[in-house]
Structure 1
Amino acid sequence: MSLPRHALPESEVLSGLPPVRAVGATEVAARITTAPRLVVLDDDPTGTQTVAGIPVLTTWTTEDLRWALRQESTAFFVLTNTRSLSPEDAAARNRDIVRALHEASLAEGVPYAIASRGDSTLRGHFPLETDVLAEELTSVGAGAPDGVVLVPAYIEAGRLTIDSVHWMRTPDGLLPVGESEFAKDATFGYTSSALPDWVEEKTGGRIPADKVVRITLGDLRTGGPTHVAEQLTALRDGATAVVDALCDDDLRVLALALAEAEEQGARLLYRVGPSFVRARAGQSAHPPLTAAELRPLRADAPHGLIVVGSHVSLTTRQLNHLRAQQGDLAEFELDVAQLLDATRRDAHLDEIATAAAAALESADTVIRTTRTVVTADDPEESLAISRSVSAALVEAVRRINATRRPAFVIAKGGITSSDTATHGLEIRRAWARGTLLPGIVSLWQPVDGPAAGIPYIVFAGNVGGDHALADALALLRSAA
């Protein structure tokens, strides 16, 4: 498919589309009362930012999974953090989770469906994760999936799929996602914006573009749930379907179709962006948390900690605006060169963590990595460097929290927020309580471990406007 290599006016891209078919969240919620529990395997922690009142696990023991299955919720998240892992480790982690989940499901008598949550800008281990999940589901006796349904849309962040082409909203208009900075990712890069072509590209031609089933806005809006259910029930032998979405109503039509297809016996595996989860869980968009709602969640401490690991240009701009708008900050840099030097790493870590803990007494404190990205020629070596730097950053958080508990913790970046949650703050179980900004920046309430009582804010590197980080901090400060 021939696509522009520049942004187009949104009105041009959206012209001539069929009218929206309105579907309320309550209609979906009523329809899914007997549907399998949706288990979202989140390859970084940011998938929770479209939902509220949903359990989150950072571990996947059978005991933890049984706890999640017992909660009154139509879905829950398992933070896998596989986007930061090598392909081999990502595969092994997915296999472990499916085995434990199947055991927990049998013990609790609660059926499940799996959504592999990937990045809305198409980065991550695809098709590896859905391939491995399909193999493991077959192995444990849950049955081989009839189809893999790809739904990368993220409505609030402006990641939209139209006529099977994935776009991202920019200040200049809608840009084909294959032309974005995210498509140039050192580990997960790609060139295609049309999803059937992207599937062919990422599968190395194993799944040709012309074999990918396209569920378009016409199917969703004109055909409706029954028509789309027919398309889904026709999937066989793990065929891939790609789905358009421009708004929540489109995704709720899909949710109704999925419920009908699953009721008819279709076994489906999902690879999705964040917005799918909200629709499939029967939730509507929630307004951001208010200062009054945040006040009882804040820890009993004067100031909070902001942890910045993401290196995308948007994060750097947000950090610059944070300094300009909220100037009374303490800021400390973990120097990547020193972190990669085994002889200097620990002393540098200790120096920064000690200084940051002391600063929390008098100011909201930023701890960040060097803004210059360090990569290698080999994608796996680049990923190893990222893991090493992230490990140092979260070790600094662990030391800071052990010395002085902050009022809150904001973690900026996907890998950063995952590692900070699991290793820096040792969170095992939490609840996603809502967002600080519309549809983005999720707040977790940890229910165990050293972070219990400290609100944890998951802030992806690639979302929000230039002022979003400053706005999030201003809201948290207003709850003091």
Structure 2
Amino acid sequence: MAKATDLLANLQDINRQEVQANLAEERKNFTYKIVVLDDDPTGVQTVHGVSVYTDWTKESIEQGFREDKSIFFLLTNSRSFTAKETTEVHQDIARRVHEVSQQEGIPYVIISRGDSTLRGHYPLETVTMKNTIESISDVSFDGEIIIPFFKEGGRITINNVHYVQYGEELVPAGETEFAKDRTFGYKSSHLGEWVEEKTNGEYTKEGTTYIRLEDLRSLNVSGIKEQLMGVTNFNKVVVNAVDYVDVEVFVTAFIQAMKEGKTFICRSAAALTKVIGGIADKPLLTRDELITEETTNGGLVAVGSHVQKTTEQLYALLDSGLVTPVEFDVHLVLDDEKFQEEVARVRTTCEELITAGKSVVYYTRRERLDLGEGRAEEELKLSVKISDAVTSIVHDLKVKPKYIIAKGGITSSSIGTVGLSVKRAEVSGQVAPGIPVWKTGDESKFPHTSYVVFPGNVGTKDTLKEVVEVLEGK
């Protein structure tokens, strides 16, 4: 653990206007379509005015390629998939993206947008896409860019070590609760060691290329480009970054290398997508931008995530009195009849409150369901059943809330795609740093509604309460 001020003390200042002007010039004749595969819906947490497609049919991918914007997102939600499902989905997407690229005559670069705290199906997703595309074409991938920097969430990389910020403290990622994830756990905080750990030694710490902060801050674009030109055999490139300007310098060199014929896949958090997509800063959304229809109905908040930060934020919201609480006793999942009665009770209670003009939060009971040793598979099946029930409450809702907030990546994905039946949404922007808002499409259950996709692990303990205050006009 270290103080943020200590680690950042000796960083060289940089003229960001000059950096952005150089990048804008480089992007002018950069004709690649940027296809972002998002493993949960929070990957749009830095962008606005872009499309998110919630399926990966050829038609959706064609639509993305034909848009004027240089970037679009495909929401895979693969963090909730098994390894087998993840492989199949990424094979399908890789084939279709390459096919549409050939059909439309537009080159592409794929970004696998993963978690800024290093959880997810890595390296399975990027390896699957690499192998699939190479098997159906003459494309050969030189390397993979790894850049988990996400400023809004306090995730920074210094001296090749990835940190998560807690107040003024920087904690190496491998020492956080995220590294203890049951499915995607890891030990290493040094990203070269993390690569070695995750690839079981196939790619090594020594074989990794490191883009140093010193080179980024001294605007050594030509030197960074030369590093990229030397990458072969799908070796890894770790990018250090503590601010957006570091990513902007890197992307300038990255585009130059691609223009000279280098081919990469990227594994990144949400910062890279904003920079390479040329998306300008935008002020946080106001209530007038978020609530565009006159209604006397209340709003709806759904909380499924169980990470510690979510629970702290939920309790702060409950203490505020801004919303009426409805606890969903998911432990009743062990008794089918009682569970169905509980789901119906939660939904009808929410409907009555929303119709009466009261905003409501329904949330899963905070204690985890633990069946004991040796029953992990059974627990997983029950957790899927619980997740489906949380989603069904929105799917079956008979009244339109004035806004909807879903807390947690998997929760927000399921509610967006299944509960609200969204096929394509436009990202309006952010309601708080790192917290995106979709405007739902015509086809959705509640068209043109502001849908706040609230990551489980973003913000302070008061951020959920503050977002509700914005939406309630408090």
TM-score interval, smaller chain? over 0.9
Q: Where does residue 405 of structure 1 map in the other structure?
A: 400
| Native 8 Å contact 1:375 1:381 kept in 2 | no
Q: 1:27 to 1:451 in 2, by over 3 A?
A: farther
Letter of the aligned partner of 1:136 in structure 2?
Answer: T
Report whether the alignment pairs 1:464 with 2:442: no
Taking the aligned partners of 1:109 and 1:301, their CA distance within structure 2 comes to 50
Cα deviations by residue, 1:289-340 (Å, 9 ceiling, x for unpaired): 12332242x5745211101011111111111111222x14222222222134
Q: Where does residue 325 of structure 2 map in the other structure?
A: 331
Cα deviations by residue, 1:41-63 (Å, 9 ceiling, x for unpaired): 00000010101111111011111
Q: Where does residue 3 of structure 1 map in the other structure?
A: none
Matches for 1:253-292 after TM superposition, within 5 Å = 253-292=249-288
Cα deviations by residue, 1:210-235 (Å, 9 ceiling, x for unpaired): 11111111222225222111111211
| Native 8 Å contact 2:291 2:450 kept in 1 | no
Letter of the aligned partner of 1:451 in structure 2?
Answer: F
Deviation at 1:158, TM superposition (A): 0.7
Report whether the alignment pairs 1:97 with 2:93: yes
Report whether the alignment pairs 1:386 with 2:375: no
Taking the aligned partners of 1:219 and 1:382, their CA distance within structure 2 comes to 48
Matches for 1:437-448 after TM superposition, within 5 Å = 437-438=432-433, 440-447=434-441, 448=443
Query: Residue 82 of structure 1 is aligned with which of 78, 91, 97?
Result: 78
Deviation at 1:72, TM superposition (A): 1.9
| Native 8 Å contact 1:329 1:365 kept in 2 | yes
Deviation at 1:108, TM superposition (A): 2.9
Q: Where does residue 12 of structure 2 map in the other structure?
A: 18
Taking the aligned partners of 1:105 and 1:451, their CA distance within structure 2 comes to 33
Letter of the aligned partner of 1:388 in structure 2?
Answer: K
Report whether the alignment pairs 1:359 with 2:356: no
Deviation at 1:345, TM superposition (A): 2.9
Letter of the aligned partner of 1:365 in structure 2?
Answer: V
Cα deviations by residue, 1:351-376 (Å, 9 ceiling, x for unpaired): 21122112111211111111112357
Range moving further from structure 2, 80-89 or 140-149: 140-149
Letter of the aligned partner of 2:103 in structure 1?
Answer: A
Taking the aligned partners of 2:257 and 2:14, their CA distance within structure 1 comes to 22
Query: Residue 410 of structure 2 is aligned with which of 396, 412, 415?
Result: 415
Letter of the aligned partner of 2:258 in structure 1?
Answer: E
Taking the aligned partners of 2:97 and 2:430, their CA distance within structure 1 comes to 28
What is the RMSD computed on CA atoms of the aligned residues? 1.9
**Residue ranges of structure 1 left out of the alignment (5+ in a row):** 1-6
Cα deviations by residue, 1:359-406 (Å, 9 ceiling, x for unpaired): 111211111111112357577665544333211110111011xx1111
Instruction: Report the TM-score when normalising by structure 1.
Output: 0.93
How much identity, in percent, do the aligned residues show? 36
Report whether the alignment pairs 1:369 with 2:364: yes
| Native 8 Å contact 1:397 1:425 kept in 2 | yes
Deviation at 1:343, TM superposition (A): 3.9
Q: Where does residue 37 of structure 1 map in the other structure?
A: 33
**Following TM superposition, where does structure 1 have runs of at least 4 consecutive aligned residues deviating by more than 6 angstroms?**
none
Q: Where does residue 425 of structure 2 map in the other structure?
A: 430
Q: Where does residue 393 of structure 2 map in the other structure?
A: 396
Taking the aligned partners of 2:184 and 2:379, their CA distance within structure 1 comes to 11
| Native 8 Å contact 1:329 1:364 kept in 2 | yes
| Native 8 Å contact 1:217 1:245 kept in 2 | yes
Number of corresponding residues: 468
Letter of the aligned partner of 2:201 in structure 1?
Answer: G
Q: 1:379 to 1:194 in 2, by over 3 A?
A: farther
Q: Where does residue 127 of structure 1 map in the other structure?
A: 123
